[in-house]
Amino acid sequence: MTKRRLPKPSELREILRPKPFVLDPTERRLGRAHTIPDLRTIARLRTPRAVFDYTDGAAELEDSLRRARQAFRRVEFHPNVLRGVADVDTSTTVLGKRSALPFAFAPTGFTRVMHHEGERAVAHVAQREGIPVSLSTMGTTSIEDVAAAAPEARKWFQLYVWRDRGAGLDLMRRAHESGFDTLLLTVDTPVGGARMRDVRNGLTIPPTLTPRTFLDGAMHPAWWFNLLTTEPLQFASLSSWGGTVAELINHMFDPALNFDDLAWVRENWPGKLVVKGIQNADDARDVVKHGADAVLLSNHGGRQLDRAPTPLELLPPTLDAVNGDAEVWLDTGILSGGDIVAAIAQGATTCLVGRAYLYGLMAGGERGVQRCVDILRTEIVRTMQLLGVRTIDALRPSHATLR
């Protein structure tokens, strides 16, 4: 028979200790986020459906995005033991400069649609964390304002080649004069992808009040209040637009873009040049021959051509094709620090994350972006320690294979 007794009050006090109540609602929300999918769940509750779907969605059946995420899920790690991993160094060198973490913030359009703090919040976190931040041509904060918000951050500018070449020249000049040291030339948007969630939601940029959006707004009053009481939402690098994203791309960007245009950009941009949107090894080799310092394997987050190649699977043949003449970067489908470690092990120099930090931005503004970085850093460090790896440079393909 088990002998029983009544617990002493002192024993109960040790067990029944309620968690301190956090008064700040943003801190309370973010305290529940332990993974990027947790941030995504909070973001979905905090923003109107059309805004969340613009961030979360992809083109057509969304197979490109799904495949990219599935590729990371198929990674099998192969750890070494007894390697002494009490101290782990997550820093790496990207185009000749050190980054405190092996990832950068990707360029994202309409960022102030997700949260009124927008690109400035992202730049603040990048400066604080010592990682690069990218500003999109389709951003909602100007080149100069981002530069002023984070003067010490490493800043990259993403460029689309417009039908109006003079506008492109002006953007490159402004970016260079504002201290942006790298240009990301996006080449996978000759026309806009069919982003069906945006079509079905009737999303326009900026959002317009229709009966449907008004009803949705009633469920998200804080988002609408912030939108309507802060600086007007508009494109910082182009004139206002009242249509969908795909319509804007088709109207503004040049589908005749070719290698001559790449040479034109290379001639007119004095800093480092990265070609973004490479989806086969031959193209990677060719853009390097035309002066690219790095290639970014990307299917635009699955938002352009559905059933496009998966960047992680494209990485090994691209490395062979480039043969050390340029860095190879990667984006799309990254939702954890383990994903980043896997890509670096497979040979990527760095990764760009987009949706991950936008989920954080929607969940809690600048503090949400910071929470995203904290989560990814924790996961990167833990994954490296469990692999028995102390530095980013020590990661090898043998540490992470695709099953």
* Per-residue confidence in pLDDT tens, the chain, 403 aa: 788 888 888 888 878 877 788 889 999 999 999 999 999 999 999 999 989 999 999 999 999 999 999 999 999 999 999 999 999 999 999 999 999 999 999 999 989 999 999 999 999 999 999 999 999 998 999 999 999 999 999 999 999 987 778 889 999 999 999 999 999 999 999 888 999 998 888 776 666 656 776 677 778 888 888 888 898 877 666 555 555 666 666 666 778 889 999 999 999 999 999 999 999 999 999 999 999 999 999 999 999 999 999 999 999 999 999 999 999 999 999 999 999 999 999 999 999 999 999 999 999 999 999 999 999 999 999 999 999 999 999 999 999 999 9
Contacts 24+ apart (CB under 8 A), 70-74: 71/310, 71/312, 71/313, 71/333, 71/402, 72/312, 72/333, 72/334, 72/335, 72/336, 72/338, 72/339, 72/342, 74/402, 74/403
- pTM of the complete model: 0.93
C-alpha distances in angstroms, 196 versus 36, 50, 60, 191, 231?
24, 11, 6, 15, 29
Question: What is the Cα–Cα distance from 296 to 186, expressed in whole angstroms?
Answer: 9
Token pair for residue 210?
Answer: 């229709």
Catalytic residues, which ones? 300
DSSP structure class, residue 159: E
Token pair for residue 39?
Answer: 């941030």
Question: In this predicted model, what pLDDT tens digit does every residue of 153-172 receive, in sequence order?
Answer: 999 999 998 777 888 999 99
The pLDDT value recorded for residue 153 is 98
C-alpha distances in angstroms, 272 versus 25, 182, 327?
42, 5, 11
Please state, for a pLDDT cut of 90, what percent of the chain lies above it: 74
Structural domains present in the chain: 33-402 (3.20.20.70)
- Torsion angle, CA of 225/205/360/66, rounded to 10 degrees? 140
Token pair for residue 216?
Answer: 């949705």
Question: In this predicted model, what pLDDT tens digit does every residue of 19-49 receive, in sequence order?
Answer: 788 889 999 999 999 999 999 999 999 999 9
Do 352 and 104 meet the contact criterion of CB atoms below 8 Å apart? yes
Where do runs of H (alpha helix) occur along 271-330?
A: 281-289, 311-322
Token pair for residue 30?
Answer: 């973010």
Do 176 and 242 meet the contact criterion of CB atoms below 8 Å apart? no
